[in-house]
A and B are shown apart, each in its own frame.
Chain A
Amino acid sequence: MDAITLEGVTKAYDSITAVDAISLRVRQGAVLGLLGPNGAGKTTTIRMVMNILMPDSGSIRVLDQPVGERTRDLIGYLPEERGLYPRMKVTDVIVFLAALHGLSQAEARKRAAVWLDRFELGAWGDKKLIDLSKGMQQKVQFICAVIHRPPLVILDEPFSGLDPVNATAVKDIMLELRDRGSTIILCTHRMEQVEQMCDSICLINHGRSVLDGELRAIKQSYGKNTIHIEFTGPEIFLCHPAVASVNRFGTGAEAKLKPGADPQAVLKAAVDAGAQISRFELLEPSLSDIFIERTANA
């Protein structure tokens, strides 16, 4: 069963087509990275999945049900724009949102205490939101998104503003949710997080899906077309005709090869030029490179 199925979904505001005939299937238990430049149509897509907006055409199913009132409660959502009632007590806010998601208030209270402890916020339950630091508030909001154990979790930039310790805690919880069978959609601009967390991606640009599928398969389809080389000495060999583009850094460079080019030719050119090579490696392209390539061409 698919967690989400989008078929030919289109949404236009006046003259602007925000989402243009997107079709997408997200396997249950997957961690999907929803990527795209600013204004690509990610938020509109998410809002249609959450039944906040209605698509102009196309169909959306969540966990094999057409989107509607009943599918709302299956979703946990961490919005990119953070903020909760600032003058309410931390526990009260969590309980309120959990109750809206269908938990009994008693159960919500019990779970809230467990979650607050887990995020080392146990002593803050009776404080008002406004008294918490930004990072703490974000943790509270994350709790609100997952406390009702939703089968589908949508997280918009969940790590922004978190220190490494808390970012790791959030990451662990995401993996835990996945292991329990939840499907996770991660919206972010941080490609390294997607590479770490996601098993599939969907890249949206100008309202269209330009790339989607298993992350591994996508990267393999690009082949090992990138050379990672660390060296000292002349660098003239980087102008070799097989090299499409170069990204220099302190101890070496990353060179992308033209399609069908032979990496050995570049290595030979480097040796011939007299460069002292300490490392030479053939890589799949980084997600970041794929992102730039796919969005720049469109």
Chain B
Amino acid sequence: MRKVLLVVQREYLTRVKTKGFVISTIIVPLIGVAFALMTGYLATRQPTQSFRLAIIDHSGAMAAPTQNSLDTKLPNGQPEFSVAQTPAAGGSPNDVEESLRARVNAGGLDGYLVIPADLSQQIELHMRNPDNMRIIQTVSGAVSQALIAERLQARGVRVTDLHDVLHTEGLKLIKVGKTGEAVERGQTLGISIALVMLLYVALLMYGIMTMRSVLEEKTTRTMESLISTVRPFQLLIGKVLGVAAVAFTQFAIWMATIGLLFTYGAFMSAMTAGSPFSGTHIPISLLIYALIFFIGGYFLYSSFYAAIGAACSNEQDAQQLQWPATLPLVFSVVIFSVVLTDPASRASIVLSEIPLFSPILMTLRISVQTPPFWQIALSIALLFLSVVVVVYLSARVYRIGVLMYGKRPNLPELLRWLRYT
């Protein structure tokens, strides 16, 4: 035990003292803050210019009510739309549209609406950027209102102020959870994605750090001197724990930074005002579960990476051999949208119980829609059980691998190593 602690101590001190540690500790939160600032800025940034829309109305009844409905204002007080009616009779329909297309391409117009004479046919919206959902939704709403008004009048219903009658405030989303209800403005998705990315990056980064650390003794041949006093198992455990201590130090610094930022709330709220994340509340149970799954995932993946490092004798070989550990991590991220859309589906449940995926996918399920407790408990139990198994196997590979130099072992050789006494 004393020897393990000595290894942990050396591992920790030499790593924490490196420039790389200092730089990554400072840089990562800076990138995070820059990212948050940028998101906040982009989210709060509104268009300042009106959308210039032309309307060709072949029916003759739609143009005016549509134009009346497009009365929304931009935050700077400008109207959101500047609408011009184009007489449909000024030439053949193709000529009119041709000239409008030319104006759109020349930049004098942002789009035009074509309303057919027969209102049972589709109405067309031509625009340069058909991805602008906000414009499309507003125009679509205005056209619908005009159409409804037109049909009501055709049935003899007299409506003086249709706009007020049809106006709605839209849906307000409220997330129901065990801890109560919370107004949903997209923060569930935001937190889920942030958690998944954080876990993925952390597991990958510290896993590879462990692999490198395990390789260090072999590439430098320090192992030869060490094995006379330390058992390979002690060294392996010391290295995994040492890197873990580094990881938690770094995390603690980052969390403290975030805590400080939240404390100086003015900064935070100024930064995120109007963005979906303002006033976001992260449930404490989610944080605790995330921590448990991070710890379990860290030990699972780092001992997996450690075994790879143990089997190889140089970094190049290890890089080629690291895919079996990296693949399940990448898979967890690739598959996460499946779990996000339907966290209670059978596929989600099964995937979130499998140890290599559970650190990311179970945390994701908990953040989206807390699953039954037995599922969480089973997932945690399986995760930590597999940690024990992987650590044991890694130690066996390491015990043989520490003294093997040269050719990278293939799978049958690795299996034989596991049997050696």
Point out residues on A near B: beta carbons under 8 Å.
Answer: 14, 47, 50, 52, 54, 69, 72-73, 75-88, 96-97, 99-101, 141, 144-145, 154
Q: Does B230 contact A (CB under 8 A)?
A: yes
Residue of A nearest to B217 (CB): A85
A82-B221, A83-B222, A85-B216 known; A50-B227 Cβ under 8 A: yes
Q: Are A77 and B6 in touch, CB under 8 angstroms?
A: no
Q: Does B226 contact A (CB under 8 A)?
A: yes
Residue of A nearest to B216 (CB): A85
Nearest Cβ distance between residue A132 and chain B, in whole angstroms? 14
User: With A and B bound together, what is the CA distance between A82 and B222 in angstroms?
Assistant: 8
Q: Can you add 11 more A-B contacts, CB < 8 Å, to A88-B14, A100-B6? A: A69-B231, A75-B228, A81-B224, A83-B220, A83-B225, A87-B14, A96-B10, A97-B225, A99-B6, A100-B3, A100-B226
Q: For window 369-386 of chain B, which residues contact chain A by CB distance below 8 Å? A: none
Q: Are B227 and A96 in touch, CB under 8 angstroms?
A: no
User: With A and B bound together, what is the CA distance between A47 and B6 in angstroms?
Assistant: 23
Residues in B neighbouring A54, C-beta threshold 8 A: 421
Q: Are A52 and B227 in touch, CB under 8 angstroms?
A: yes
Residues in A neighbouring B227, C-beta threshold 8 A: 47, 50, 52
Contact sample, A vs B, 18 pairs, CB 8 Å cutoff: A14-B416, A69-B231, A72-B228, A75-B228, A77-B228, A78-B225, A79-B224, A81-B224, A82-B224, A83-B220, A83-B224, A84-B222, A96-B10, A97-B225, A100-B7, A100-B226, A100-B230, A141-B225
Residues in A neighbouring B231, C-beta threshold 8 A: 69
- Chain B residues bordering chain A, tally (CB within 8 A): 20
User: With A and B bound together, what is the CA distance between A197 and B220 in angstroms?
Assistant: 30
**Max chain A CB contacts within 10 Å: which of B14, B222, B228, B230?**
B228
Q: Does B229 contact A (CB under 8 A)?
A: yes
Residues in B neighbouring A47, C-beta threshold 8 A: 227, 403
Q: Are B421 and A73 in touch, CB under 8 angstroms?
A: no
Nearest Cβ distance between residue A254 and chain B, in whole angstroms? 38
Q: Are A100 and B224 in touch, CB under 8 angstroms?
A: no
Nearest Cβ distance between residue A79 and chain B, in whole angstroms? 3
User: With A and B bound together, what is the CA distance between A52 and B290 in angstroms?
Assistant: 40
Residues in B neighbouring A72, C-beta threshold 8 A: 228-229
Main secondary structure of the interface of B (DSSP, over half): helix
User: With A and B bound together, what is the CA distance between A99 and B221 in angstroms?
Assistant: 19
Residues in A neighbouring B216, C-beta threshold 8 A: 85
User: With A and B bound together, what is the CA distance between A76 and B229 in angstroms?
Assistant: 9
Q: For window 48-101 of chain B, which residues contact chain A by CB distance below 8 Å? A: none
Residues in A neighbouring B230, C-beta threshold 8 A: 100
List 4 tightest A-B contacts by C-beta distance, closest first.
A83-B221, A79-B224, A77-B228, A100-B229
Q: For window 224-259 of chain B, which residues contact chain A by CB distance below 8 Å? A: 224-231
A85-B216, A85-B220, A96-B6 known; A76-B14 Cβ under 8 A: no
User: With A and B bound together, what is the CA distance between A145 and B6 in angstroms?
Assistant: 18
Nearest Cβ distance between residue B395 and chain A, in whole angstroms? 14
User: With A and B bound together, what is the CA distance between A13 and B354 in angstroms?
Assistant: 37
Nearest Cβ distance between residue B196 and chain A, in whole angstroms? 35
Residue of A nearest to B421 (CB): A54
Q: Are B14 and A101 in touch, CB under 8 angstroms?
A: no
Nearest Cβ distance between residue B410 and chain A, in whole angstroms? 15
**Other-chain residue from A50, A82, A96 in contact with B228 (beta carbon distance below 8 A):** A50
Residues in B neighbouring A75, C-beta threshold 8 A: 228
Residues in A neighbouring B229, C-beta threshold 8 A: 72-73, 97, 100-101
Residues in B neighbouring A52, C-beta threshold 8 A: 227-228, 403
Nearest Cβ distance between residue A152 and chain B, in whole angstroms? 10
Nearest Cβ distance between residue B276 and chain A, in whole angstroms? 45
A47-B403, A100-B230 known; A77-B14 Cβ under 8 A: no
Q: Are A77 and B220 in touch, CB under 8 angstroms?
A: no
Residues in B neighbouring A69, C-beta threshold 8 A: 231
Residues in B neighbouring A101, C-beta threshold 8 A: 229
Residues in B neighbouring A73, C-beta threshold 8 A: 229
Residue of B nearest to A47 (CB): B403
User: With A and B bound together, what is the CA distance between A239 and B228 in angstroms?
Assistant: 52
Q: Are B225 and A79 in touch, CB under 8 angstroms?
A: yes
Nearest Cβ distance between residue A237 and chain B, in whole angstroms? 52
User: With A and B bound together, what is the CA distance between A84 and B219 in angstroms?
Assistant: 10
Residues in A neighbouring B224, C-beta threshold 8 A: 79-83
User: With A and B bound together, what is the CA distance between A65 and B374 in angstroms?
Assistant: 52
Residue of A nearest to B416 (CB): A14
User: With A and B bound together, what is the CA distance between A47 and B227 in angstroms?
Assistant: 9
